[in-house]
Amino acid sequence: MMSNLFSNFDPSTIFFSLNWISSYLGILIIPMIYWLIPNRLMILNSKLCMTLHKEFKILTKKNSSTLIFISLFYFIFFNNLLGLFPYIFTSSSHLIFSLALALPIWLTFMIFGWINNNQMMFAHLVPQGTPPILMPFMVCIETISNIIRPGTLAVRLSANMIAGHLLLTLLGNTGPMLKFMVLILIFTQILLFILEMAVAMIQSYVFAILSTLYSSEVN
């Protein structure tokens, strides 16, 4: 029995060590036959990878660096999708998980940019066409917006996962009270579950594409 509505987000509700292992359960979902015999799942995965590669290549202008963001997309997508299943801990709904992804990526871009291309980094602090009198203010604004980027990436991912799970939990807890509207509630839950599956993919794509955009600024 959960003590409150947020207990399903508590890592220590069942077993602390086993809950965080759910981040790697996506590897177990892929059957062994996927790697041996070409099938529809492999074809769909290949098309998705090529589509992401083409989009990321336009932003990064490098073919080799797209593999990092494609892997990031798949890792977040599997975690978001697995969190929709009952009794599986949603690691992507925690800031410690999303910050552990966003902060190292942002720090790597910043260190690489300021060491190898500091003139371009200074140029990004002042947008083109800014009046000279507003330049000090624009530098402050751009610096603050650059510093909070990992926080916005992490909060965006975690907040969307928490919101959808809370809505599903709230509707599920009202089932015993709605004796004559159970079918309507089940239909609403199914529609919301489909929406959450779309949100799981959209949020992983947004996280990956924003990371790609941040990397394109240091080149």
Q: Render pLDDT for 34-62 as a digit per residue (tens, 0 to 9).
A: 667 777 877 888 888 899 888 888 888 76
Q: Is the pLDDT of residue 6 over 90?
A: no
Q: Render pLDDT for 107-137 as a digit per residue (tens, 0 to 9).
A: 988 888 888 877 777 777 877 777 788 788 8
**Helix orientation angle between 95-116 and 149-173, rounded to the nearest 10 degrees:** 160
Q: Which tokens is 191 given?
A: 């529609």
Q: Rounded to a whole number, what is the distance in angstroms from the first to the last CA of the chain? A: 52
Q: 3-state DSSP call for residue 83?
A: coil
What pLDDT is attached to residue 202? 92
Rounded to whole angstroms, the Cα distance separating 165 from 6 reads 10
Q: Is the pLDDT of residue 24 over 80?
A: no
Are 10 and 4 in contact by the 8 Å Cβ rule? The answer is: no
Kindly compute the dihedral angle of the four CA atoms of residues 83, 69, 94, 108, in this order, to the nearest 10 degrees.
Answer: 160
Residue with tokens 């590897």: 27
**To the nearest whole number, what is the mean pLDDT of the chain?**
80
Sequence length of the chain is 219
The verdict on pTM exceeding 0.85 is no
Nearest one of 100, 104, 103, 94 to 158, comparing CA atoms: 94
Q: Is 210 exposed, middle or buried (0-12, 13-18, 19+ CB in 10 A)?
A: middle
Q: 3-state DSSP call for residue 202?
A: helix
What pLDDT is attached to residue 1? 39
